[in-house]
Amino acid sequence: MIQLETYTMKAMIKQTIERHPNKPALSMVDEEPITYAQLGNMINDVIEMLRDSGIKKGDRVAILSQNMPNWGVAYLAITTMGAVVVPILVDFHLNEILQIIRHSGAKVVFVSSAQYDKIAYSDLDPFPVMINLDSLLPVEANLPKDKVAGVHPGTQQCF
């Protein structure tokens, strides 16, 4: 039986990464899986990005996306750093999505390219920092729809 010194999500993730670094952790069907070692690195990178965006323990961070491996990466990064996840179902009406973001006080929203237009052109005030969940990179509001899905080579911005 596996024993954890501390019974937290952070401790469980850390121990799993250490014990099974080369085993598959997350994947889409018929795609190359993300290993636990890669997952650990991705979680740390997202935590750093969230901290750079001013997120600290107790802050709310929303996720608006269909199911994908990076949804799990974002969730684990948010919870591991002690922030609060605000998951938003993509099937909700636009008014409900915006009300959840407003009411929760989410300072950052992870949003997939497919869901970008649901919040990027809204009148949210204050407007949260947006991170493209497909690329795990910051994305600006009000971009032309054809510029959202890709990442411009050599930059850290989605266009």
The hierarchical CATH code for the domain 9-147 is 3.40.50.980
Q: Domain segments of the chain: what residues?
A: 9-147
Q: Which tens digit of pLDDT belongs to each residue from 51-79? A: 999 999 999 999 999 999 999 999 999 99
Alpha carbon 22 to chain centroid, angstroms: 23
Give the Cβ contact number of residue 75 at 10 Å: 18
Q: pLDDT of 73-114, one tens digit each?
A: 999 999 999 999 999 999 999 999 999 999 999 999 999 999
Distance CA 112, CA 95 (A): 18
The model's pTM is 0.87
